Chains A and B, each alone.
Chain A
Amino acid sequence: MTQRHSQTRRRFLAAAGVASTTALAGCTGILGDGGSGSGDDDEPTLADFRGSGELVSGRPAPGGTSIEELPDLEGELSIYLGGGEGGRYTTLVDLLARYYPDFEPTTDTQPSSQLANSIVQEYESGTTQADVFWSVDAGSLAYVTENGATVDLSDDTVSAVADDRFATDQWVGLAGRSRAIPYNTNEFGESDLPTSVDAFASESRFADNMGWAPTYGAFHGFVTAMRQLRGDDGTREWLNSMLDQNPARYDSEYRVAQSVTNGEIGAGFGNHYYAMLMVADSPDAPIDLAFTENDAAALVNTAGASVLDGAENPDLAESFVRHLLSAEAQEFLATRGFAFPMIEGVEPVGPLPTIEELSPPDLDLQALSDVQPTLELLRDVGILS
């Protein structure tokens, strides 16, 4: 099963290494003199940070603050790393460690919500273990912040994030991710896709033709958002109508995107980047993304980071977070993770709209930490066992 996933990724990353030099033909010099950047001992260059392939080629050099302009990272740093996009985040940490020989990061990778819980427990018992919490969703960052386990970030770090929806005093967004509707382009035209999540639960053309991944964390975030927007009863109603449409169940949203691509289903619910992975893998894949408007299916969430209260090395921790908002790191997250970048000067990849062009619902991302009632609701409706 997921075997194929990792193979795809491996192939994709291997291709990234080879093709990056071509992609960079016109814009070397961001970091030193460009160069091949292939040897492990070499200082990594933009080519190493940037992804590759048709989607990436021809991108302009990223704007924003370059790593070169930031103070050096030096010393030991413990990072609680939530989820991590199938290993991509650790790759970025490795790149920074290669860039700074005196920087020794240690990462502990677990689901973000689990780490958030550990952080709060550790904070309350005075046994804080990590310096930085890097989470894949704002909900768990909010949970940690609300429980007092983080410290204020400097203005310099906070102001690096262009959109103030994605930064607070205590955490900053690093990589935006939107809920989306991946659809098969052989089956639907762009104008066929409704702009309301309710249409998918009521229109007959979506019956037996949709897919979702109800055990997936991102799906739980989506349902939590819906609960905030229309209450538990309204959400239950939508879920029940959706169940009447008999959607196919998958164990991940990557699978949803895959099944849309191979025509098994016409459309599905998922985070936007899974469809991008399909396109990156095969540029002619019959898959595209639609976005609803002002409802939970268009929720824009963000991965983000904060510095933990009790960190052994808070200055290094903050500087590390600042590095994640550098031009190179943001280019990495945009081109390898297909995320919406958080700083001015770095654009989302290829066909993606910019984050400003989306119409997410008006919702405080902090509210996404309220996941337990969501799980109970899903169980109650019979979606989760």
Chain B
Amino acid sequence: MAASERLARLRDAVVGDEEPGFSLAVLAAAVAALVSLPLVALLVRASNYGLGHLVGLVTQTSSVDVLVNSLVLVFWVTLGCVLVGVPLAVLTVQTDLPGRRFWTVVAALPLVVPSYIGAFTFVSAFGPQGDLADALAVVGVERIPAIYGLHGTALVLVLFTYPYVFLTTRAALLSFDGTLVEAARTLNHSRWAAFKRVTVPQILPGVTAGALLAALYALSDFGTPSIMRYQVFTQQIYVAQRSLGVPEGYPALLSLQLLAVVAVVLALESRIGGNTSASYVSRGSRQPGRITLGAWKVPALAFCAAVAVLSLGVPLGVLAWWFADAGEAVFEFDPGVAWNSLKVAVAAAVAATLMALPVAGYAARSTSLFSTLTDRLTYVGYAVPGVVIGIALLYLSTEFAQSLYKTVPLLVFAYVVRFLPQAVGTVRSSVLQVDPKLTEAARTLGRSPFGAFRKVTLPLIAPGVAAGAALVFLTSMKELPATLLLSPIGFETLVSYIWLVRGAGSYGAAAIPALVLVGVSALSMVVILAQERYNG
């Protein structure tokens, strides 16, 4: 992608001939090794069972069904996200849709609703005997289509992940050269033909990039399929880990299968990203003339409004309704639960930031293969679904570190593994913006290497470090499967509390924690946006 190219360019510009110190390399390697531990544990565990046993499991269990279900879900979610995200992007960028700015913001906002909270509210509204069903029963509608299963899962995932496609497509549309369309028009192409032959190829890489993000999300999401009762890898791994009479090694086998599918998606992403990076970042282009919607204005607005109602109106409306309906009970919410969430998320943010500093510093200053490798290894968390990290850490602790089993440090470590890439990413791009000559100057003025770092580099990268820490903090707050698998007994967090009351059906009790998590999500979006601006 363009980002890697830009990084390389920046690196060439700022890195002198001098390689960073040996100690930095060791530190970075140590961090990389540490966060790779869970995956190593998973592989060790799986190899304990032997290949024959695992292959036997594939045939003897329903794991093929799970694979098929997961792929079918990914297909529909990806398709749905394209069908929702691309039109919204085209409408808000290239047409005279009334209130385009407004719709742009609205279309991006569903990203701030954690998908499991979205699913939870959808079940409450549209589930059997849900609020909507009750309302319709009054007017004589006996049954509404069941929300559970594939279509419910796909619907919810599309509604809360289409913004990935929307945002990447929008970026592609904004940056592509509008004069090309005009050229096509002068060559007597109709508007539609010009769109098909010029616009589509130009924005396709952007669409694909977003679609792959959505696919990856659909594959790794745990909460939505669990709530919607659809059997996919994440949900099955969790169930298999906790059910009676499940064959030995089944959770490990499913985890490996899921990782294999993730690897395929990532490989696709790097290929597509690599081949076409040039086409959708051409800059300084002019916008083509806006398409006049004419009579299509009304259906276009209806489409935007329908998406907004489903993806924002339903979840926020239901949460507000729970809040109002719970009355006094709302205040029975135990603040200790929020305090627990806060503590582990702060610990994760601090630990991830401390670990990100050597990795990012090394990666930004070194061109060696080794630095690329350590940098890449810390990205494990982006690729590995939370439920797999949870399972892997359960294995790791029960087999090699019993004293860590279901302790707060292990839970924090899970968050660090999962979200370290966010910290590394933001810190690295800030380090790249610091001119190494400044540190050199400090060194020639007699500062020690650490002194130079503290006096010169650190103040300059502080905003990036803070943004990275904030992101780790906010995403740790809402991580679901790792929290459920690894929390110590009696240690309740906002997330595990929501999960518990959801299971018990006391929806009103979930109102406050769910609203807090939506707020936390919104804040992390703000941090990301601010950070992007900072990076220019």
**Complex alpha-carbon distance, A302 and B505, angstroms:** 23
**Interface bracket on A:** 35 or more
**Complex alpha-carbon distance, A215 and B231, angstroms:** 14
Complex interface: chain B residues within 8 A of A87 (CB) = 504, 506
Q: Are A372 and B243 within 8 A (Cβ)?
A: yes
Complex interface: chain A residues within 8 A of B131 (CB) = 1, 3
Interface size on B, residues (CB 8 A): 38
Complex interface: chain B residues within 8 A of A10 (CB) = 329
Q: Are B244 and A116 within 8 A (Cβ)?
A: yes
Q: Are B504 and A86 within 8 A (Cβ)?
A: yes
Query: Distance in Å from the Cβ of B138 to the closest Cβ of chain A?
Result: 14
**Is A246 positioned at the interface, with any CB of B under 8 Å from its CB?**
no
Query: Distance in Å from the Cβ of B66 to the closest Cβ of chain A?
Result: 13
Q: Are B506 and A2 within 8 A (Cβ)?
A: yes
Contacts A1-B129, A1-B505, A122-B405: A117 and B399 contacting too (C-beta < 8 A)? no
Q: Are B397 and A127 within 8 A (Cβ)?
A: yes
Contact with B along A1-12 (1 / 0, CB 8 A): 111011000100
List residues of chain B with CB under 8 Å of any chain A CB.
124, 127-131, 133-134, 148-149, 229, 231, 241-246, 322, 325, 329, 397-399, 402, 405-406, 488-490, 500, 503-509
Q: Are B130 and A140 within 8 A (Cβ)?
A: no
**Complex alpha-carbon distance, A371 and B246, angstroms:** 10
Query: Distance in Å from the Cβ of B411 to the closest Cβ of chain A?
Result: 14
In the complex, 8 of the A-B residue pairs with CB atoms within 8 angstroms, ordered by the A residue number, are: A2-B505, A6-B508, A121-B398, A129-B488, A251-B128, A252-B505, A255-B129, A369-B244
Most buried by B among A2, A106, A114, A252: A2
List residues of chain A with CB under 8 Å of any chain B CB.
1-3, 5-6, 10, 78, 80, 86-87, 106-111, 113-114, 116-118, 121-122, 125-127, 129-130, 139-140, 143, 215, 249-252, 255, 369-372, 385
Complex interface: chain B residues within 8 A of A117 (CB) = 241-244, 246
**Complex alpha-carbon distance, A111 and B504, angstroms:** 10
Q: Are B243 and A385 within 8 A (Cβ)?
A: no
Q: Are B244 and A143 within 8 A (Cβ)?
A: yes
Q: Are B245 and A114 within 8 A (Cβ)?
A: no
Q: Which residue of B lies closest to A126 (CB)?
A: B402
Our pick among B148, B231, B490 for the contact of A108 (Cβ within 8 Å) is B490
**Complex alpha-carbon distance, A250 and B229, angstroms:** 14
Query: Distance in Å from the Cβ of B128 to the closest Cβ of chain A?
Result: 6
Complex interface: chain B residues within 8 A of A1 (CB) = 124, 127-131, 133-134, 505
**Complex alpha-carbon distance, A93 and B446, angstroms:** 66
**Complex alpha-carbon distance, A270 and B229, angstroms:** 22
Q: Are A78 and B402 within 8 A (Cβ)?
A: no
**Complex alpha-carbon distance, A236 and B411, angstroms:** 44
Q: Which residue of A lies closest to B399 (CB)?
A: A125
**Complex alpha-carbon distance, A130 and B242, angstroms:** 16
Complex interface: chain B residues within 8 A of A370 (CB) = 245
Q: Are B500 and A109 within 8 A (Cβ)?
A: yes
Complex interface: chain B residues within 8 A of A122 (CB) = 398, 405
Q: Are B489 and A129 within 8 A (Cβ)?
A: yes
Q: Which 4 A-B pairs have the closest CB atoms?
A: A2-B505, A106-B490, A125-B398, A114-B242
Our pick among A5, A111, A125 for the contact of B402 (Cβ within 8 Å) is A125
Complex interface: chain A residues within 8 A of B129 (CB) = 1, 250-251, 255
Complex interface: chain A residues within 8 A of B489 (CB) = 78, 80, 106, 108, 129-130
Complex interface: chain B residues within 8 A of A251 (CB) = 127-129
**Complex alpha-carbon distance, A107 and B506, angstroms:** 18
Complex interface: chain A residues within 8 A of B508 (CB) = 3, 6
Q: Are B398 and A113 within 8 A (Cβ)?
A: no
Contacts A369-B245, A372-B245: A127 and B490 contacting too (C-beta < 8 A)? no
Q: Are A3 and B325 within 8 A (Cβ)?
A: yes
Q: Are A78 and B490 within 8 A (Cβ)?
A: yes
Q: Are B405 and A127 within 8 A (Cβ)?
A: yes
Q: Are B128 and A371 within 8 A (Cβ)?
A: no
Q: Which residue of B lies closest to A113 (CB)?
A: B244
Complex interface: chain A residues within 8 A of B406 (CB) = 127, 129
Supply 9 further A-B pairs (C-beta < 8 A) apart from A6-B509, A127-B405: A3-B131, A6-B508, A106-B489, A117-B242, A117-B244, A125-B399, A125-B405, A127-B398, A371-B243
Query: Distance in Å from the Cβ of A3 to the closest Cβ of chain B?
Result: 5
**Complex alpha-carbon distance, A5 and B503, angstroms:** 13
Query: Distance in Å from the Cβ of A84 to the closest Cβ of chain B?
Result: 8
**Complex alpha-carbon distance, A126 and B399, angstroms:** 9
Q: Which residue of A lies closest to B143 (CB)?
A: A248
Query: Distance in Å from the Cβ of B206 to the closest Cβ of chain A?
Result: 37
Q: Are A3 and B507 within 8 A (Cβ)?
A: yes
Complex interface: chain A residues within 8 A of B231 (CB) = 385
**Complex alpha-carbon distance, A54 and B127, angstroms:** 34
Complex interface: chain A residues within 8 A of B504 (CB) = 2, 6, 86-87
Our pick among A2, A108, A114, A250 for the contact of B243 (Cβ within 8 Å) is A114
**Complex alpha-carbon distance, A64 and B133, angstroms:** 48
Query: Distance in Å from the Cβ of A246 to the closest Cβ of chain B?
Result: 13
**Complex alpha-carbon distance, A3 and B509, angstroms:** 10
